[in-house]
Amino acid sequence: MTKATLVIGIDGGGTKTTAILADSSGVILAEEAGGPSNFQIMGTEKAAGTLFTLMTNLCQSAGHTIGEVHALVAGLTGAGRESDQERLRAAFQEHARKFGVQFGRIRIDSDARVALEGAFEGASGIILISGTGSIAFSKTPEGEILRTGGWGRFIGDEGSGYVIGRDGLTAVSKELDGRGRKTILTAMVADRFGLSNQERIIEQLYKNNFDIASVAPLVIQAATGHDLECERILNRAAFELSELVRGLTLRMERATRRPRQKIPLSFIGSLLTGESVFPKIVKHKIEFSIPQIVVRKPQGSPPYGAVLMALELLKR
């Protein structure tokens, strides 16, 4: 019996890792979900174990052997730097060797990179990501990858859950001081998190590592109720996200020398993929100010984007 030529695509983060087994034509044969694979938190050895277990489970469920897998691409949270990618790649190969598996074609990349590939099924376009952080990626028709944002919460992450939550808490602090407008967010934060006064807020923020991004959904909820301060915060966040897209649009036009050509854009991340008012504000801001952008839903999933990248890896 002739052995199949298979590939695996993986999308992993801090809570869940999803993997797809496909044949050389890109037909999906099996899908599996596992635990976290953020190696920046859990270490490379444990993350490599998660990836290898998923690989094994996929092959077993589809009735194939690991030896038939010829390429694997994993897009993981925290894997944006080449040094980290190589570190996890080496850890995975070492883990596989313990089970007698020699694996050559393996690529580790960021979760954003596989999301970009999946969103347009390998074609060009832009993805805008807003979760705890924010970043935008694009792929030109010639295959060049560009990015804006992703500078982290200290000097960037505009329009992200962290910045929206931070700005919300700033509005609360100003009201408690008597130097800001009233906002229903103050009562909401006190009710949800017990942050009802200056002492409590400072203690949670600076001593107990309070998750600032967790306030963002409350800001969105308050804005839905027409709270002026929270509406202002969301409008500013939407503007900053639109500027990420504007920057990429200009760079794509310079790279391709095709000004005003329509460019597809997909939203990725918890703040932009739900049914709240925030994605609607962002969509309106972008389409009004950057008319060549066409916002549409992703065509494929991030793990399938990793499959497409693995198929490309087969050709090398």
pLDDT at residue 1, as a whole number: 44
pLDDT at residue 10, as a whole number: 94
pLDDT at residue 44, as a whole number: 84
- Tokens describing residue 299: 């065509």
Q: Give the pLDDT mean for 186-211.
A: 93
Q: Tens digits of per-residue pLDDT, 97-125?
A: 888 888 778 999 988 999 999 999 989 99
- Tokens describing residue 287: 């389409």
pLDDT at residue 34, as a whole number: 86
Q: What is the set of domains in the chain, with CATH numbers?
A: 6-120+301-314 (3.30.420.40), 123-297 (3.30.420.40)
Radius of gyration of the chain (CA): 22
| Strand segments (E) across the chain | 6-12, 17-23, 28-34, 69-76, 106-110, 125-130, 134-139, 145-149, 263-268, 293-295
How far is it, in rounded angstroms, from Cα 150 to Cα 129?
9
Q: Grade residue 131 by pLDDT with cuts at 50, 70 and 90.
A: confident
For the chain, give the percent of residues with pLDDT over 90: 63
Q: Tens digits of per-residue pLDDT, 43-59?
A: 888 888 889 999 999 99
pLDDT at residue 274, as a whole number: 83
Q: 208 CB contacts (<8 Å, ≥6 apart)?
A: none
How far is it, in rounded angstroms, from Cα 185 to Cα 191?
10
> Which of 38-42, 254-258, 260-264, 302-306 is most confident?
302-306
> Which of 1-10, 25-34, 150-159 is most confident?
25-34
pLDDT at residue 315, as a whole number: 84
For the chain, give the percent of residues with pLDDT over 70: 98
Q: Is the pLDDT of residue 177 over 90?
A: yes
Q: Grade residue 2 by pLDDT with cuts at 50, 70 and 90.
A: low
Q: Whole-prediction pTM value?
A: 0.85
Q: Give the pLDDT mean for 165-184.
A: 95
| Mean pLDDT, all residues of the chain | 91
Q: Give the pLDDT mean for 126-142.
A: 91
pLDDT at residue 37, as a whole number: 84
